[in-house]
A and B are shown apart, each in its own frame.
Chain A
Amino acid sequence: MSGPGIAAVAAQVAVVTAGAPLLAGLMRQVRARLEGRAGAGIAQPWRDLRKLLRKEPITPVGTGPAFRAAPALLVATTAVTAALVPFLSTDTPVGRNADVILVVALLALGTVALALAGLDSGTAFGGMGASREMTIAALVEPTILLAVFALSIPARSTNLPAIVAGAVEQPARLASPAGLLATAALAVAVLAETGRLPVDNPATHLELTMVHEAMVLEYAGPDLALVELGAQMRLTVLLGLLTSVFAPWGIATGPSWAALAVALAVFVAKTALLGAALAAGEVFWAKLRLFRVPELLAGSFLLALLAVTASYFLSGE
């Protein structure tokens, strides 16, 4: 139990919660500028959240506990994930419990809660969005697990801090074929899991194409604010996971206040850079037809599987 360790966990949760709307705002701003629009500014998602939180809570007639619990559950699971994943420091009091399987399960719990809420609302769009979300989730979860397993073979542990600490000590591990394949697979999986462009369009309100938006159509007021915040936090956590697993430079590995401060600055910079790059890339992409999405995800699953076989056989230990 060290002071910097506890501070690191608190800082991770605080940065992810406060920074997620800012990251979303930054990505929208980058996109707007590239499309020749002025954009609403980086703080706009926070202003939206404030507006929604001031409204009166209201739920549709006939909805049950699944609908009411889902927004809180989504935010809570994401906050716990933010505490577990080593964004700032690998030496934290919760580090021993930060297993890959647990992290993926927590993220899946949030997805399932939201899908159940979509079904619970009883509307056609809610059910349709939920069924699409589950189709995508069923293909994405194994890919995330396999991609991180490929990196856990050289570290000989599925503990995330151990994987990240090993990668900090031996950067050569990341330039191996296994590391590169796993990066590509995890990047596709993150795009699908957060509902970004080739899989789902985050800006659409066209009924026939939306996935995430269809499930949350019935939410209003503070509940909608929580759902929005949860989605933005998931994006931040998954982008952060991608940076800390594949670009782990700057993450503190010991109990030191100075290293923690550096790690905080580096984490913010890395995530903002990745988010801006993603937003810039999205300008040039079109959304895939829904029936082509399994193809993309099967491809990323294959990349993850190749990463596992390559890291098992080529390294040959």
Chain B
Amino acid sequence: MSEGTYTQLLDLACGAFLLAAVVVLWQRKLTAIVRTFALQGVALAALPFLLGLHEARGELIAVAAGIGVLRTGVLPYLMRRALDSLVPAPVTGAGHRYVENVSEAWETQPLVNVAASLLTAALLTLLAYAVARPLVLLGPAPATRALPVGLAVMLIGFFVLSTRRRALAQVVGFLLLDNGITATAFLAASGVPLIVELGVSFDVVLAVLVLQILTTRMRTAFGTTDIDDLRELHD
């Protein structure tokens, strides 16, 4: 692969990675958010794959395959299952009109409205570029130049985590944050050792499993997954 093609494909993967984070912010439907997150996993897996091809390192390609399976397959599957158990099936039949309760499937009222959060994402991206400037100057290669993209996705993930109300949207925010950290590691240091990557991946899977159980429990206890209902203490 020539230098020019490598740079172009790397830039394209980084652009798609950042774009997916923005689209998560834009969507209201939780299924669409989960689907966008899965697409972001493809872009994230493309980063170590391209780096591995460019530097001819086999283990990076293996890491890419692992990340691809985990972030485009396992995690979205777990979240989709949690979502299916949350949203009751529409009631149809004699005597009933078609009734569907969509309140659990939509991020209806985020703390910051969508237009304002999109503009905030623009500011966060600019902030990431400003912060990463000295780091990029240390070693200007195509991969390090894309470093701000990882930081921006981290910041956007943190923003999603702090402004969305539905538990599942917050899980996606947490995973965006993690995607951003992974991307930053690949871009800055061509990846962390395989054992650390494995540890982080298991950590993420466990966190999502625990959060999934917690969400289902919340739903049975309160009848909703709105995090704001957890403010008050009950005995």
Residues of A within 8 A of B (CB): 172, 175-178, 180-181, 294-295, 298-299, 301-303, 305-306, 309-310, 313-316
Contacts and interface: CB of A to CB of B under 8 A. Distances in A.
Contacts of B125: 305-306, 309
A176 B8 contact: yes
Contacts of B26: 295, 299
B37 to A, nearest CB: 18
Contact of B118 (A298, A309, A310, A314): A298
Interface residues of B, number: 28
Contact of B8 (A175, A294, A295): A175
Contact of A180 (B14, B15, B116, B118): B15
B218 interface: no
Given A301-B122, A302-B119, A316-B140, A181 B8 contact: no
Contacts of B22: 299, 302-303, 306
Contacts of A181: 15, 19
Interface of B: 4, 8, 11-12, 14-16, 18-19, 22, 26, 113-116, 118-119, 121-122, 125-126, 129, 136, 140, 142, 145-146, 148
Contacts of B114: 295, 298
A147 B41 CA distance: 27
A178 B149 CA distance: 13
A229 B211 CA distance: 59
Given A172-B8, A177-B16, A295-B114, 12 more contacts: A178-B15, A180-B12, A295-B115, A298-B118, A298-B119, A299-B26, A306-B19, A306-B122, A306-B125, A309-B125, A313-B148, A316-B136
Nearest to A178: B15
Nearest to A172: B8
A172 B4 CA distance: 10
Most buried by B among A181, A302, A305, A316: A302
Contacts of B122: 301-302, 305-306
**The 3 nearest A-B residue pairs measured at CB:** A177-B15, A298-B115, A316-B145
Contacts of A299: 22, 26, 118
Nearest to B16: A177
A180 B18 CA distance: 13
Given A299-B118, A302-B121, A306-B125, A314 B146 contact: yes
A298 B123 CA distance: 13
Given A298-B115, A316-B145, A177 B129 contact: no
26 contacts: A172-B8, A176-B8, A177-B16, A294-B115, A295-B114, A298-B116, A299-B22, A299-B118, A301-B122, A302-B119, A302-B121, A305-B122, A306-B15, A306-B122, A306-B125, A309-B129, A310-B11, A310-B15, A313-B129, A313-B136, A314-B14, A314-B15, A314-B146, A315-B11, A316-B140, A316-B145
Nearest to B120: A302
Contacts of A180: 12, 15
Given A306-B125, A309-B129, A314-B145, A176 B119 contact: no
A123 B114 CA distance: 34
B179 to A, nearest CB: 17
B118 A295 contact: yes
B47 to A, nearest CB: 13
A176 B146 CA distance: 13
A180 B142 CA distance: 19
A176 B12 contact: yes
B148 A176 contact: no
A294 B145 CA distance: 32
Most buried by A among B14, B19, B119: B19
B159 to A, nearest CB: 13
A177 B19 CA distance: 10
A306 B121 CA distance: 10
A103 B100 CA distance: 49
Contacts of B16: 177
A178 B12 CA distance: 9
B115 A313 contact: no
Contact of B11 (A303, A306, A314): A314
Contacts of B4: 172
Contacts of A309: 125-126, 129
Contacts of A295: 26, 113-115, 118
Contacts of B126: 305, 309
B11 to A, nearest CB: 5
Nearest to B148: A313
Contacts of A294: 115
B11 A176 contact: yes
Contacts of A177: 11-12, 14-16, 19
A176 B136 CA distance: 20
Contacts of B115: 294-295, 298
